[in-house]
Structures are given as C-alpha cells and as structure tokens.
C-alpha cells in the first residue's frame, strides 16, 4: 500500500493491448493508488485480445493536472486516440506538470501526437521506431527508459520493470 493517496489516470481507447492496460491498473490498485480511466467515450472498451475495461470519464470531465501519474497502454489504442484533439491536449497538459508519464509499446504514438517526444530518449514497440525518430526522439532498445518525467517500455514482457519504475517515480525515488 505504498501508493496510498496517489491518483493515476490510465488513457484507454479501443484496441488497447490487454496486458499493458490491466497489469499496470491491477498493480497500482494493489499498491493503494486510486486508478481512474479516461477515453474518448465512457463505458466498456474492448482490448485487442478481448479484455473489457470500463472507461469512467471522457477527457473533458477531468483535469489532467489533478493526477500524480499517467499511464498510456499500447496496442492500437494510441494510434486511435491521437486522432482526438481532446486526447492530445489531455496528455500534453499532464506532461507539463512534470509528474510521471508512463507509456508502453505503441504508447509513444500518442506522446508524439501531443508533441512530447522531440529530444526525448525513449523506447517502445520496435515498429514505431521510425515514427519516433521522425518526431525527434532518440529511440533505443531497452526494457525501460526514463528521461525526465517520461517512462517508456517496449512490450508486455517489460511490465514488471515498467511497473516497478513507475512506482519508484511516484514515490520520488527514481
């Protein structure tokens, strides 16, 4: 329960990678954080492998700066969400706080669309490499990369390190 009192927002869109959403949500909740989901519409949203997550809020309902951390799962969700100005603005508004912003797999696509990756050392799913380089990132192949307030990882196998790094950042240790 180390994260008691911390509020974390998870950005969910259709086609999210199931584990990359559920594993951090479950981890953060077990650690005592309040986890809130946000997306372009409320209700049940299905992941690429059939997991359903209930989205509690639309972007306009929430103040991004009121959270202690943000998680952007991968899959097809980031490419879908980047089409929504509200999603790009929500992520950019949160990033400006300097609080931990964690993206895994294709999550970098939403960060890039929000104008956040130029000059950033980051990782992600190998297929987004060229897109991230074009957006001005230094893209590396590592389990977890931390650059300023941004935490990135590549694939579901990286989730234990991703979660541990996010927890350390939330506790002010990383």
Residue from 38, 71, 91, 105 carrying the catalytic annotation: 105
Expressed in percent and rounded to 5, the helix, strand and coil fractions of the chain are 40, 25, 35
Residue 37 catalytic? no
Residue from 88, 106, 167, 169 carrying the catalytic annotation: 106
Residue 105 catalytic? yes
How many whole angstroms separate alpha carbon 114 and alpha carbon 118? 10
* CA distances from residue 161 to 9, 24, 62, 82, 165 in whole angstroms, order as listed: 19, 11, 29, 26, 6
The helix/strand/coil state of 43 is strand
Give the count of beta carbons closer than 10 Å to the beta carbon of residue 172: 7
**Edge-to-edge strands, sheet with 7-11:** 57-58, 34-39, 7-11, 69-72, 101-104, 150-153, 144-147
Query: Do 44 and 53 touch, CB atoms closer than 8 A?
Result: yes
Q: Which residues are catalytic?
A: 105-106
């Amino acid at each position: 329960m180390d994260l008691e009192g911390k509020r974390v927002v998870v950005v969910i869109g259709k086609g999210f990678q199931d584990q990359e959403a559920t594993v951090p949500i479950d981890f953060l909740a077990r650690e005592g954080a309040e986890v809130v989901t946000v997306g372009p519409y409320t209700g049940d949203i299905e992941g690429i492998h059939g997991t359903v997550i209930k989205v509690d809020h639309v972007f306009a309902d929430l103040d991004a700066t009121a959270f202690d951390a943000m998680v952007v799962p991968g899959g097809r969700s980031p490419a879908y969400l980047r089409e929504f100005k509200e999603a790009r603005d929500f992520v950019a508004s949160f990033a400006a706080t300097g609080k931990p912003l964690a993206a895994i797999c294709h999550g970098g696509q939403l960060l890039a669309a929000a104008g956040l990756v130029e000059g950033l050392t980051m990782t992600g799913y190998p297929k987004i490499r060229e897109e991230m380089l074009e957006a001005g990132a230094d893209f590396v192949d590592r389990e977890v990369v931390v650059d300023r307030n941004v935490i990135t990882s590549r694939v579901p196998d990286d989730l234990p390190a991703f979660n541990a790094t996010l927890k350390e950042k939330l506790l002010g240790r990383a």
